[in-house]
Structure 1
Amino acid sequence: MTTPPARSPRLLLVTTMVLTMAGVVLLTLPHQSNTVPETPPPAAASAVRPSSPSTGEDPAASGPGPSKTTPTTPTGSAIASALPPHGEGVAGDRAIQQTLEAAWPADLSAEDERQLRAEGRELLRADATGIGRAKWLVFFGDPDQAIAPAFATARFRIQAVIARRDGSDDQAVVHLVWAGTDRGGTYTDGRITDLHFTRATANKDGGATWTPQPRT
């Protein structure tokens, strides 16, 4: 029977040192994660989509929004929002006229608009300054009980005027922008007045006449 040679203590010591060093190296290596970063589901992504800056609605929303209707005739607040700044004087009147005409295209015949604009000017002047009220008794009523004029004639000025249909062919409204000095001495431009008219029977020349609606 052959006895195997005894292992060298030196070889065992070297082997032990190598194994120890390998363990230390493995312990010092950084661990790498095998997990995949989570991706938010489509629903979460859409929830953080920025809104449209103009409408405040999600641009991906389906279906048309509510329809918007434009009034056929402007209101006083709508006129004010469309006018140029105050204080430009006579030089700004043309811009005001052009702004009104661009905002509300004509919907009356040229003859009807010409007549309504002329009568609207006269009626407003009579109302503000008291001049010519006798022509408009249906509007002012008894001259002896009429309200005293609130504006001086010296600086009264109509800056712009348009006439448009007011719901039907026989109804019209005259929109006027004007300037004036009140009895307290305060001058203000950009004042807005709406005067309503009703179509009357044809005059002797065959054309339509317009009558101002009484004060309510």
Structure 2
Amino acid sequence: MLVIATVLLAVCGLGLLAVPQAREPSGSPKAPGSSAPVTRSPAASPARGSAANDVPAPAHAASNPTRGAAAVSALPPHGEGVAGDRAIQEALDAAWPPDLPPGDARQLLAMGRSLLRADATGAGRGRWPAVFTAEGRALAPAFARFRIQAAIARRDGGGGRAVVHLVWAGADRGGTYTDGRITDWRFTHTTRKGSPTWTPLPRT
């Protein structure tokens, strides 16, 4: 038995020696971690409007995306202060070209600014009884250090309607000061005592 086992082991050893060793793939060896090229992700596109400054391009700017994108890309960063207000105004004007008679635009802007100030600070709410109810007029002011940064008045569809789009800054009751706040006031064209005028619509 011992002789048979020895013979079998010898035969197996010869068989293993007869099998050729596998060759390694041609080419120089690669360094660890370099088996695949590094793929660079594409650069992120610049944030627009509300993503960058909470000042979105008005809806009408969608009719000319190139102009709207170019306008909002020039918006100043948050915290720029009064120095950045002009850039915001220019961006709004470029993104949403004027479409109202100058007289109407001036009237709407004056009313929109007054309404926003009354709404944010409480000053002058009694001037707008159709907009601010008695309960609303009694509410404590919600904002301090109020400042309007930019404003435009434009048509709001058809039917004698318009919208005043305002960008403003203020500190809330908690003392947090934020610029780039957005408010829209809508108006309808009416006639009072034979004179056409703009009437603010209650906010819903």
What TM-score comes out, normalization by structure 2 length?
0.62
Deviation at residue 202 of structure 1 after TM alignment: 5.0
Q: Does 1:92 align with 2:74?
A: no
d(CA) in 2 for partners of 1:126, 1:171: 22
Q: Which has the larger radius of gyration?
A: 1
Deviations 1:95-145 (A, max 9, x none): 110110001000100001000001000000000000000011111112566
- Counterparts of 1:8-157 in structure 2, within 5 Å, are 71-72=59-60, 82=72, 83-143=75-135, 146-152=138-144, 155-157=145-147
Gap regions ≥5 residues in structure 2: 1-41, 43-57, 63-67
| Residue aligning to 2:21 | none
Question: In structure 2, what is the Cα distance between the partners aligned to 1:126 and 1:160?
Answer: 17
Match of 1:213 in 2: 201
For 1:148, what is the secondary structure of its paired residue? coil
Match of 2:183 in 1: 193
What whole-Å deviation, never above 9, does each CA across 1:20-43 have from its counterpart, x for those lacking one? xxxxxxxxxxxxxxxxxxxxxxxx
CA distance 1:187–1:125, shift in 2 (3 Å): same
For structure 1, list consecutive stretches of 5 or more residues without a partner in the other structure.
Answer: 1-52, 54-69
Q: Note the aligned Cα RMSD (angstroms).
A: 2.6
TM-score (norm 1): 0.59
For the residues of structure 2 that align with 1:145 and 1:131, how far apart are their CA atoms?
9
User: What residue in structure 2 maps to residue 179 of structure 1?
Assistant: 169
Aligned AA (1:212): P
Partners of 2:181 and 2:115 lie apart in 1 by 15
* Local SS of the residue matching 2:130: helix
State the 1:93 CA deviation.
0.6
Change in CA separation of 1:157 and 1:196 when aligned onto 2, cut-off 3 Å:
same
CA drift of 1:203 comes to 5.8
Instruction: Please state how far the C-alpha of 1:85 moved relative to its aligned partner.
Output: 1.7
